Amino acid sequence: MDRYGSDVMGAEVGRVTVSCARLPRLAEMLLLGSGLACCVGVKAAALRRAAGVFSWATVWVGIPDLMFFAGVFAVVQVLCACWPSRWTARGGVMLWTAVAAWSALNAVWVEQMGVQLQPAVLSILLRAPRETGPVLASHLAAQPLWVAVGLLLGGVATVLIAWVLWRPGRVSANRSRHACAAVAAAAMVGVLGVARWAMGGVGVPGLTVEAMDYSSHWEALTWVFRSIGGGGSEADSSRTDYAVAGQREVLTQEGGELERPNLVMVLLESVSWRASSLGDPNADATPYLARLAGDGVSFDTTRVVVSHTSKALWAVLTSSTPVIRSDFVEAAPADRPYESLATILGRFGYRSGFFKMAKGSFECAPGLCCNLGYDWAWFRENLEDTSAYLGYLAGDDCRLIEPALAWAQEGSGPFLLTVLTSVCHDPFEVPAAPVMSPASQLCDRYRQAVRYTDSFLEQFCDCLASRGLDENTIVCVLGDHGTSFRSTAGRGRWFPYEETIRVPWVIRWPGHIKAGQRVRSACSHLDVTPTLLSLMGYDVARAGFEGIDALGQAGGERRHYFSSWYEGSPSGFVEGRRKVVYWPGVDKGFEYDLRADPDEERPGRVGPAETKAIRDAILAWTRRYEIQVDVDRFRSRLLYDHWETFSQGRRAWAYYRSGEGPARR
């Protein structure tokens, strides 16, 4: 080959080298653009749904994302100026990959939940992926378009990233060019910051702007640094640990005679007061629940403490505030059961059983039941028939009626039977029925699930009567929490709107409760146990419950605290007609007049001084109780003949042992 051929070959090699050198930059631009598009696009869509038209609020909430991406770009350029090597090229691509991946996952979560994917949620996924993975999969499945776009971009990015990591080329040795790019990006951050400050703020109905403003990379990064620094986790010297079995002083009333009625508690999964016929008499949502209320007493204004099922069970059965933390430490096997309605009645000769058609392995439910003192617990695995399963968690609730009532008839003496429904848990699947056509919209599926839950309640009570188990039996029905379908709140319980925290509560005891009573004063989940015990003839004056007898004491203007499950989510309290919500993520307080604004569409901003007082009060409440655990201690225990339970520190999990013991008992 002559020297001209060699020159041509050299030119070709040079062109390949140049194009390879550009791949890191192409990969970075692709990741930067897709990540930014996910962040801004999902916020723009949410704000358009809330306001109906494009508004400057989109610019307002998009500026922090632009600032973040410009800041990351500036950091990468500084690294390239200081260390122009192949490893720097690889590092830049990996950094942008992490940012883009978080952006895509967060976009799906914002679209579903109305707020960003909180790092606290990710920590739960990492701690218990086997149980929480299906929850994330359910949310992803509900957004096929976002998932498809993400997979397409992810596939292209993966190929490009793999090539860049293998053959990264060299970072340009022109340090001044990288330095100029870094300065330009930093200047852009400054200009955007000034522009946002000059805008002051833009409002649309509700808390949509605040939610979208909070849903940024800056907030996620701030949470990480707070976690590293241990912020917010310090112990409170005024904290009180929970009472264990036998510590509450519950007595028989002097001169009174106990009838020892049976007690049946039915907790309705995700059924809010507003979704029931009690909240909307014109709707035919829960006709049987309305009939029960007509035969007994209904508590019109009952709110949850924490909008999460296991936390709600704790509040209802112990009359004490649950641990305000996104874990289920209450299920970690304890040396002695905690004091609860089950342990208190157990001292007076009651046997207790807990039944639900949801997964027992989810959040180590057998461990929670054991810690609450139940003699027997039954879950969908005990049925040993997967045809009754619905979604990733629930089951056909009607399939638990036979085993629950068989258990009630087996023993002698009075019983406490607790039933928790499951059909109304997302994704709101109902058993196939000829009279019920499938619904496509999420809110329509929810309404079907509520209607099915009411039909289950009717069938359950009819079966009680047919077996003679309704004689001298108290039936107590209440919601564990609600859910929201506002465009600003996704389908989650992160926002403490009234449809999330206000639930129905009905008690029927023929011959002892006057039919058609209505208690209009404010009540709480904390009031359930003291109310039932007082109704049954027990003296709870010295028991030390947080709640009160809602039938014997006026609720008045007492303060009711509430919170979501996740750290950093809005918490607050209701006092009379005033509802206060404090948002730790943005350190802001809002208030509503529930009489003038029952739909909570016009929040008022609380001043800085009062916000601090509210924050201190809520922090004192959230830190009031704690469960102390030995983080290094590993425990295992066989519970209820079928459940191998394990725990280490605050983590707990359970496995079902098929074919052993009375599974259908």
185 plus 85 within the same structural domain:
yes
pLDDT at residue 239 in the model: 64
Angle between helices 401-410 and 442-466 (to 10 degrees): 30
> Which amino acid makes up residue 228?
I
Q: For residues 140 and 486, which has the higher predicted lDDT (pLDDT)?
A: 486
Average pLDDT over residues 302-312: 95
Count the domains in the chain.
Answer: 2
Residue that has been written with the tokens 């998932």 in this structure: 147
Task: Report residue 624 as tokens.
Answer: 């009031």
Together in a domain, 300 and 195: no
- Give me the pLDDT at residue 19, please: 43
Residues 6 or more apart whose CB falls under 8 angstroms from that of 577 comprise 593, 594, 595, 596
The reply to whether 265 and 382 lie within a common domain is: yes
* CA dihedral for 633, 634, 639, 643, sign (positive or negative): positive
What is the reported pLDDT for 41?
79
Residue 376's contacts (CB-CB under 8 Å, 6 or more residues apart) are: 351, 352, 353, 354, 407, 640, 665
* Strand 351-356 relative to strand 376-378, pairing: parallel
Q: Is the pLDDT higher at 650 or at 162?
A: 650
Of the residues 210, 229, 248, which one is the last residue of a structural domain? 229
DSSP string, 147-202: HHHHHHHHHHHHHHHHHHHHS-----S-HHHHHHHHHHHHHHHHHHHHHHHHH---
Residues 293 and 411 in one domain: yes
C-beta of residue 665 within 8 angstroms of C-beta of residue 403: yes
487-527 confidence digits (pLDDT tens): 655 556 778 899 999 999 999 999 999 999 999 999 999 99
Higher pLDDT, 412 or 146: 412
Flag the least confident range among 98-107, 125-134, 150-159.
125-134
Retrieve residue 45's tokens: 């869509």
Task: Look at the chain and count its residues.
Answer: 665
The three-state secondary structure class of 303 is: strand
Q: Please write the tens of the pLDDT for every residue from 169-212.
A: 555 566 788 788 889 988 998 898 888 877 765 554 456 666 67
Q: In this structure, is residue 621 part of a structural domain?
A: no
User: How many whole angstroms separate alpha carbon 86 and alpha carbon 446?
Assistant: 54
Confidence category of residue 230, pLDDT binned at 50, 70, 90: very low
Do 274 and 215 share a structural domain? no
pLDDT band at 290; cut points 50, 70, 90: very high
Most confident option among 40-49, 189-198, 472-481: 472-481
159 and 277 co-located in one domain: no
Q: What is the CA radius of gyration of the chain?
A: 28
Q: Dihedrals φ, ψ of 627, to 5°? A: -105, 115
In a domain, 602, yes or no: no
What is the pLDDT averaged over residues 614-642? 88
Digit-coded pLDDT (tens) for 236-276: 445 678 999 999 999 887 656 678 999 999 999 999 999 99
* The pLDDT of residue 570 is above 80: yes
Nearest Cα to Cα of residue 426 among 290, 567, 283, 309 = 309
In a domain, 572, yes or no: no
**Chosen domain end from 211, 229, 247:** 229
**Are 239 and 321 a contacting pair, CB within 8 Å?**
no
* pLDDT band at residue 484 using 50, 70 and 90 as cut-offs: confident
Least confident of 222-226, 361-365, 367-371, 611-615: 222-226
As a whole number, the mean pLDDT across the chain is: 82
Mean pLDDT of 308-336: 92
HSE, side-chain direction, 13 A CA sphere, residue 398: 15
Higher pLDDT, 318 or 12: 318
**How many Cβ atoms are within 10 Å of 404's Cβ, its own excluded?**
20
Residue 582 belongs to a domain:
no
Rounded mean pLDDT, 651-664: 73
pLDDT tens-digit readout, 332-360: 988 899 999 999 999 999 999 999 999 99
Task: For residue range 416-425, list pLDDT tens digits in order.
Answer: 999 999 999 9
Residue 251 within a domain? no
Assigned domain for 219 exists: yes
Which amino acid appears at position 224 of this protein? V
> Using alpha carbons only, what angle is made at residue 256 by residues 255 and 257, rounded to the nearest 5 degrees?
125
At 353 the pLDDT is 98
Range 114-131 average pLDDT: 64
Is residue 286 domain-shared with residue 427, that is, in the same domain? yes
* 211 in the same domain as 321: no
Q: Residue 168, preceding bond cis, omega within 30 degrees?
A: no
- What residues have CB less than 8 Å from 552, skipping those under 6 apart? 531, 534
Structure tokens at 484: 């929201």
Are 305 and 450 in the same domain? yes
Whole-number Å distance between alpha carbons of 87 and 608: 48
Rounded mean pLDDT, 535-549 = 94
| Average pLDDT estimate for 123-135 | 64
**Any domain includes 190:** yes
Average pLDDT over residues 601-621: 90
Residue 402 is predicted with a pLDDT of 96
Same domain, 154 and 268: no
Residue 219 in this model has a pLDDT that exceeds 50: yes
Residue 277 is predicted with a pLDDT of: 95
Per mean pLDDT, which range of 84-98, 243-257, 306-320, 591-605 is the poorest?
A: 84-98
pLDDT tens for each residue of 395-414: 999 999 999 999 999 988 99
pLDDT, residue 551, reads 93
Q: What pLDDT score does 1 carry?
A: 43
pLDDT, residue 205, reads 45
Residue 554, pLDDT above cutoff 60 = yes
Q: Ranked by mean pLDDT, which of 105-109, 119-123, 450-454, 586-590 comes out on top?
A: 450-454
Q: What is the pLDDT of residue 247?
A: 94
User: At 288, which CATH number?
Assistant: 3.40.720.10
Q: What's residue 170's pLDDT?
A: 55
Q: How confident is the model at residue 46 (pLDDT cuts 50, 70, 90)?
A: confident
Domain boundary among 175, 206, 229: 229
Question: What pLDDT does 486 receive?
Answer: 78
Inform me whether the pLDDT recorded for 645 exceeds 50. Answer: yes
**Confidence check: pLDDT of 541 > 60:** yes
5 against 154, higher pLDDT: 154
Asked whether 373 and 343 are in contact (CB, 8 A), the reply is: yes
Q: Which two tokens stand for residue 475?
A: 């039936």
**Residues 206, 108 within the same domain:** yes
Percent of the chain whose pLDDT exceeds 70:
77
Looking at the structure, do residues 165 and 289 belong to the same domain, yes or no? no
Query: pLDDT value at position 407?
Result: 97
In terms of residue numbers, what domain contains 375?
A: 261-559+628-656
Give domain status of residue 8, yes or no: no
